[in-house]
């Protein structure tokens, strides 16, 4: 039974919806229906959302594959927490009017660590 991946998939889905709502609200305020209309804050919000959409699905797929291959639940939680924390830190650091570079860097480092560890785990379990 799959019990760990749904937790992190759900939490990251909530994060993604929050990032999406942020974009929608900013578009409404600026009266921009497509693109960013030259608004830097809207562009940052869009990229925070886009970055989540680019990395999270791939990482969650790797997490699911590791779970299906029988990886230990504590390890799956570690991977999921690294991913979730990485996505939250990156989104917060990136999406602010005054970005926090350190949070963006830590966020992507945690995300990459989760992806690479999950990939190596899957290779190890598959061989």
DSSP characters for the chain?
Answer: ---SHHHHHHHHHHHHHHHHHHHHHHHHHHT-SSS-TT-HHHHHHHHHHHHHHHHHHHHHHHHHHHHHTT--HHHHHHHHHHHHHHHHHHHHHHHSSS--HHHHHHHHHHHHHHHHHHHHHHHHHH-
* Integer Cα distance of 113 and 124 in angstroms: 16
Q: Once rounded to an integer, what is the mean pLDDT over residues 51-59?
A: 97
CATH number at residue 84: 1.20.120.550
**What residue has token string 């594959």?**
65
* Integer Cα distance of 124 and 37 in angstroms: 47
pLDDT score for 33 = 67
Residue-averaged pLDDT of the chain = 92
**What residue has token string 């590791």?**
66
In the predicted model, is pLDDT for residue 8 greater than 70? Answer: yes
Q: How many domains does the structure of the chain reveal? A: 1
pLDDT score for 72 = 97
**Sequence-distant (≥ 6) Cβ neighbours of residue 2 within 8 angstroms:** 64, 67, 68
Q: pLDDT by residue (tens digit) across 60-115? A: 999 999 999 999 999 999 999 999 999 999 999 987 778 899 999 999 999 999 99
Q: Once rounded to an integer, what is the mean pLDDT over residues 22-43?
A: 77
Q: Which residue range forms the structural domain that includes residue 83?
A: 5-126
Tokens at 30, concatenated: 């600026």
pLDDT score for 40 = 79
Tokens at 37, concatenated: 């209309």
């Amino acid at each position: 039974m799959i019990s760990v991946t749904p937790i992190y998939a759900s939490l990251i889905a909530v994060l993604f919806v929050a990032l999406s709502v942020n974009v929608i609200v900013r578009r409404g305020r600026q009266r921009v229906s497509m693109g960013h209309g030259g608004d830097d804050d809207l562009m940052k919000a869009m990229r925070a959302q886009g970055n989540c959409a680019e990395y999270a699905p791939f990482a969650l797929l790797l997490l699911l594959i590791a779970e299906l291959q029988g990886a230990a639940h504590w390890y799956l939680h570690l991977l999921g927490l690294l991913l979730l924390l990485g996505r939250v830190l990156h989104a917060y650091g990136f999406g602010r009017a005054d970005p926090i570079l350190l949070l963006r860097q830590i966020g992507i480092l945690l995300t990459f660590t989760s992806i690479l560890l999950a990939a190596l785990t899957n290779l190890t379990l598959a061989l």
